[in-house]
Amino acid sequence: MPKRTTDMGQLDNQIAIVTGAGRGIGHAIALKFAGEGADVVCISRTAENAEKTANEARALGRRAWAHALDVADSVAITAASEKIIEQTARVDILVNNAGITRDGLMMRMSEEDWDLVLDTNLKGAFLLTKAFTRLFVKQRSGRIINVSSISGLIGNAGQANYAASKAALIGFTKSVARELASRGITANALAPGFIETDMTAGLSPELREVMLKNIPMRSFGQPEDIANAALFLASPAARYVTGQVLTVDGGMVM
């Protein structure tokens, strides 16, 4: 569990927005940031999950706000961003973590499954980033962290839609980094490998064994591993890091 914020934290008194905060990697990042002194805006598709994470952040002594939001809904994003700025007055960190999978071989993949994954994983990051960029520019500061995947680096059979969305997210990150660097704003991506979350829980024992053989460290990662990497990119230590992809995968992609 993250530490309580009685001690000085790396993110003291900053405001962080985390999408997909209701579970898995997003949940771990939100609580890691709260444990390091940040107030957290917890965005999830369901109000119940968003509020649960927000309550856990409050238990660490931080302010937290819960928003139920479909990140691919531009109208909802506009309304929510206005509400968030009204609630917080400023935003220091934006973590675009919300993501879904609809796996299947490409030749059998429906257009609906393609669009749904691209809309959530890529368009959602675009909409959230655009919504808060003007505020970042006005502040002349901000950290944007996009959660990509090793699938976006090397592809993965049965995940043409997911891999495409995550590869495009890397290109998006680098472009945003170039656009905003002169304003003191950084944009970086994380590329998790196989992490123990709901997304990997459904893997068969046989498939897990195959995956483990491709990981030099011979183990799946934990959400906390990604949260620690996100903390680095959000912290003062990463002041001069932008446009980069930090791979956290136990050595799977070298």
**Residues annotated as catalytic (active site), given as ranges:** 162
**Locus of tokens 């997911």:** 162
- Residue 95 C-alpha from the chain's centroid: 5
Q: How far apart are the C-alpha atoms of 227 and 20, rounded to whole Å?
A: 13
CA-nearest of 15, 26, 83 to 50 is 26
Cβ within 8 Å of residue 189, ≥6 positions away: 145, 146, 147, 148, 169, 170, 173, 244, 245, 246
Q: How far apart are the C-alpha atoms of 139 and 107, rounded to whole Å?
A: 47
Q: How far apart are the C-alpha atoms of 222 and 104, rounded to whole Å?
A: 25
